[in-house]
Copies of this chain bind each other. A is one copy, B any other.
Amino acid sequence: METVSLNQAFGGTQGVYRHASSATGTDMVFSVYVPPHEPGARLPVVWYLSGLTCTHANVTEKGEYRRACAELGLIFVAPDTSPRGEGVPDDADGAYDFGLGAGFYVDATQPPFADNYRMWSYVTEELPALLEAQFPADMDRQSIMGHSMGGHGALTIGLSLPDRFKAASAFAPIVAPSQVPWGQKALAGYLGADQAAWRRHDAVALIEDGARIGALLVDQGEADSFLAEQLRPELLAEACRAAGIDLTLRMQPGYDHSYYFISTFMEDHLRWHAARL
């Protein structure tokens, strides 16, 4: 693991790191904020999964999470959203919603993507092992959050690994990729046409199929231009109601899909996670 940059912030350290990933077969870059802490302490971890087109850098620069993480004693981890580099296949038309920057947190089964696009394994296995080995992380206290495509990742990973993640939260998540254009394109491209294989990567379908988690928190801007077509939080609300899952869904008037929205509610989410860690 190579340190790309290390900056002191709010009494802790914001690092950016690069390592050769066996999951993706590429170099991967991620960021970790470690808050001020006593020597030898192990700290709870919040995972943040980013949205389409993003790298680790968007939330690291614009997420405004360090102040709250420093106060609450949380490690904050932000992976990239896809493999990158020479030879990594991309969307045939170079579109923003598939391929580079759009890994959708699945292990692809379809050529030519199956070799590199293994973001599920990367985020749930390889990077946690690296985190535990290299940082003062208490892996018995983890939770997960994300934005948009990363909200989809946080919900599906949280629902699939409820013993690991005490809770999951999201900003403007894709809650039912099987039912919306972004998700249909991505899941077909990475997993193939058989929609049975999509269900474990669809939060609403996972809940319908019996997955559960301690608690969910979702903030959704009402001025988000993707709300009606791609995000559809009402589908998650209905699934949680039917399943008895403790979902807090907050519709936020005037807010859009940007980091201006995310940064506004970041502290709320971090306090919510900290209370569950």
Contact = CB atoms under 8 A, between A and B. Distances in A.
Nearest to A70: B264
B8 A254 contact: yes
Interface in A214-231: 221, 223
A255 B8 contact: yes
A258 interface: yes
Contacts of A10: 263-264
Interface in A197-236: 221, 223
Interface in A6-53: 7-11, 14
A106 to B, nearest CB: 30
A260 B7 contact: yes
A67 interface: yes
A62 interface: yes
Nearest to A65: B64
B258 A66 contact: no
A25 to B, nearest CB: 32
A14 B262 CA distance: 14
A249 B241 CA distance: 56
A8 B256 contact: yes
Interface of A: 7-11, 14, 61-62, 64, 66-67, 221, 223, 254-256, 258-261, 263-264, 267
Given A8-B221, A8-B264, 4 more contacts: A7-B256, A8-B261, A10-B264, A62-B62
10 contacts: A7-B260, A7-B261, A8-B221, A8-B255, A8-B256, A8-B260, A9-B263, A10-B263, A61-B61, A67-B267
